[in-house]
C-alpha cells in the first residue's frame, strides 16, 4: 500500500477544483462473462459525457501490459489483483474516477484493494450467476475450463468468493446492460458528485 503523503494537501484540492469531483475507485468484481468490461466501458462513456475525469483498468487488457508476466495460479491472481489495486489507487490520488474490471475472486484481495484507497472505494458486485455466465461463454472459456483445458478457472475449478457486503450489487444475469448501467451510474453520480 503506497505511502501517499506526497499526494495529500494542496494539489488534491486543485485537482478536485479542476475536474469538478473527487477521485475514487469503482471496483467491479464478478465471474468471467458476468459483464464487467461492458459495464465498465459503458460507465466510462457515460461519465466522460458528463465531464468526469475517468479511466477503465480492465483485467484482460492489463494482462497484455502491466500484468503480462502473470499467470492464473492463486499466487499470480493475488499479485494481479494487488497491482490493479495499487494502480487504481494511483489514479484516484491523481483525482480521477478509476473503474476496474477484474474478476478478483478473493475477499482478502478485494479488502486490500479497498485499503489502498479507503477514502472513496466502491465495491460493485457484477452478480450474474454461474449458469448465466456459462450460458453466454463468449470466449469459450467455460467450455475449456469444464474439459480441463483451462486450469484455475474462477467459479469452475477455482473459488469465486461472493462479496458479502458490496457497496452495490447488480444482477447482470437478468437485467439488460442499459438497466445495469442506469443503476451503476446513479450510484456513482450520488457518491462522487460533480460540482459543476
Catalytically active residues, by annotation: 104
CB of 96 to a copy of itself, least distance (A): 7
CB-based burial of residue 20 (10 Å sphere; 0-12 exposed, 13-18 middle, 19+ buried)?
A: middle
- The yes or no reply on residue 134 touching a copy of itself (CB under 8 A) is no
Q: How many residues bind a copy of itself (CB under 8 A)?
A: 39
3-class secondary structure, 63: coil
Exactly one of 16, 38, 66, 182 binds a copy of itself (CB under 8 A); that residue is 66
Nearer to a copy of itself, 13 or 149 (CB): 13
DSSP H stretches of helix in the chain: 10-19, 36-49, 59-62, 74-93, 107-116, 130-136, 141-147, 177-191
Mark residue 172 as left, alpha or beta (left: phi above 0; alpha: psi -120 to 50; beta: remaining).
alpha
Please tell me whether residue 91 binds a copy of itself under the rule CB under 8 A.
Answer: yes
* Measured CA distances, 49 to 88, 91, 93, 130 (Å): 21, 19, 22, 33
Residue 65 interacts with a copy of itself (CB under 8 A): yes or no: yes
- 3-62 residues near a copy of itself, rule: CB under 8 A: 3-4, 6, 11, 14-15, 18-19, 41, 44-45, 48-49, 51, 53, 55-58, 61-62
Find the length of the chain.
196
CA distances from 19 to 22, 76, 163 (A): 8, 35, 31
Cβ closest to a copy of itself, residue 18 vs residue 177:
18
- If the CB atoms of residues 15 and 122 are measured against a copy of itself, the closer one turns out to be 15
CB-wise, 23 or 155, nearer to a copy of itself? 23
The correct pick among 94, 158, 162, 185 for binding a copy of itself (CB under 8 A) is 94
Helix 177-191 to helix 36-49 angle (10° resolution) is: 50
CB of 122 to a copy of itself, least distance (A): 19
| Cell 479511466, residue located | 55
Residue numbers at the binding site for a copy of itself (CB under 8 A)? 1-4, 6, 11, 14-15, 18-19, 41, 44-45, 48-49, 51, 53, 55-58, 61-62, 64-66, 69, 79, 83, 86-87, 89-91, 93-96, 116
Amino acid at each position: 500500500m503506497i505511502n501517499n503523503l506526497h499526494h495529500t494537501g494542496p494539489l488534491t484540492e486543485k485537482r478536485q477544483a479542476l475536474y469538478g469531483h473527487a477521485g475514487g475507485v469503482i471496483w467491479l468484481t464478478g465471474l468471467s462473462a458476468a459483464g464487467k468490461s461492458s459495464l465498465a466501458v459503458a460507465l466510462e462513456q457515460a461519465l466522460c459525457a458528463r465531464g468526469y475525469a475517468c479511466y477503465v483498468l480492465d483485467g484482460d487488457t492489463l494482462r497484455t501490459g502491466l500484468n503480462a508476466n502473470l499467470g492464473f495460479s492463486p499466487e499470480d491472481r493475488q499479485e494481479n489483483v494487488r497491482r490493479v489495486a495499487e494502480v487504481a489507487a494511483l489514479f484516484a490520488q491523481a483525482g480521477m474516477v478509476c473503474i476496474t474490471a477484474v474478476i478478483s475472486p478473493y475477499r482478502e484481495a478485494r479488502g486490500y484493494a479497498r485499503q489502498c484507497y479507503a477514502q472513496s472505494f466502491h465495491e460493485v458486485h457484477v452478480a450474474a450467476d454461474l449458469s448465466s455466465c456459462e450460458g453466454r461463454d463468449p470466449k469459450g472459456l467455460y467450455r475449456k475450463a469444464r474439459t480441463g483445458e483451462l486450469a484455475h478457472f474462477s467459479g469452475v475449478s477455482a473459488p469465486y468468493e461472493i462479496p458479502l457486503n458490496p457497496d452495490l450489487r447488480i444482477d447482470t444475469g437478468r437485467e439488460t446492460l442499459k438497466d445495469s448501467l442506469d443503476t451503476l451510474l446513479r450510484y456513482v453520480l450520488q457518491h462522487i458528485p460533480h460540482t459543476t
